[in-house]
Chains A and B, each alone.
Chain A
Amino acid sequence: MSNTERPLSPHLSIYRWPITMTLSILHRATGVVMSVGLILLAVWLTSAAAGAEKYAEFSALMATLPGRLLLIGWSFAFFYHLANGIRHFVWDTGRGFEKHQANASAWFVIVLAVVVTAAFWMLQS
């Protein structure tokens, strides 16, 4: 299988880093973040099912600074993955593949994710 004599295509490091690559990696990273965050959702629901006392314990934990940061990070992961997921759905229809379109939608997704995350926490508190 591993034939080192085979010619290789130019590797990632040869290219000037485009914004679209950042988004691609972020999509995967935020996905993994939410996979772990799914445990948090299950714990939240389980604590609510376990009664007022357990729920208050969990709420108190989430109200601490690390807890808050965790939730804010998770919500950004959610909104980013949601927005970029829709970008992927548009690509699935065969649209938006031109370089300028992909770059424009990339910046749109980033700005949207940040703005919506900020709006969510402002409305929440």
Chain B
Amino acid sequence: MRPVASLRALLGLGDAEGGTDHWWGQRVSGIALVLLGLWFVVSLLSLPSLEYIAVVEFVGRSMNNVLLSLLCLAAAYHSNLGVQVVIEDYVHSAALNKASLVISRIAHFLVAVIAVYAVIRIGNGA
């Protein structure tokens, strides 16, 4: 709590309550996704096929296991930031806005965990 209320708080014209972290998080994960995304596309193209054996063999290699986990994490993080802005822009009711933000964050977290868990399981020869 600040000892003195700012003028804009008194007038009810709040700022966006920050945004620098959001901006930086989006850029850094964006750059990571450019690299990881291109790696993933080139990898898909260089696979002999997308049959079970070829895919599991590819995902199972340690380096690919790490890179694919990173891709899933960065994508979920970047996606969460993006969807957050969409919700903030279009969901006007304050309660619904908050609820949507919480649900979106939980959903992104779940997808990230499920995807990385699958990648690691394949890495362990599941």
Chain A interface (Cβ < 8 Å from any Cβ of B): 1, 28, 31-32, 34-35, 38-39, 41-42, 45-46, 48-52, 55-56, 59, 78, 82, 85-86, 88-89, 92, 120, 123-124
Would you call B56 an interface residue if the criterion is a C-beta within 8 Å of the partner chain's C-beta atoms? yes
Chain B interface (Cβ < 8 Å from any Cβ of A): 12-13, 27, 30-31, 33-34, 37-38, 41, 44-45, 50-53, 55-56, 59, 68, 72, 75-76, 79, 82-83, 86, 108, 111, 114-115, 117-119, 121-122, 126
Minimum CB–CB distance from A43 to chain B (whole Å) comes to 9
Q: Tell whether, in the assembled complex, residue B41 and residue A120 are in contact, meaning their CB atoms are under 8 Å apart.
A: yes
Name the B residues within 8 Å of A78 (CB-CB): 37, 41
Assuming the contacts A49-B126, A55-B55, asked whether A35 and B37 have C-beta atoms less than 8 A apart, the reply is no
Nearest-CB residue, chain A, relative to B47: A124
Total A-B Cβ pairs within 8 A: 84
Give bound CA distance, A42 to B50, whole Å: 16
Give bound CA distance, A84 to B75, whole Å: 16
Give bound CA distance, A34 to B79, whole Å: 8
Name the A residues within 8 Å of B13 (CB-CB): 1
Name the A residues within 8 Å of B51 (CB-CB): 59
Name the A residues within 8 Å of B33 (CB-CB): 82, 85
- What are the 3 tightest A-B residue pairs by CB atom distance, in nearest-first order? A45-B118, A42-B115, A49-B121
Choose from A39, A45, A52 the contact partner of B122 (Cβ within 8 Å). Answer: A45
Nearest-CB residue, chain A, relative to B126: A49
Give bound CA distance, A86 to B33, whole Å: 11
Give bound CA distance, A49 to B65, whole Å: 12
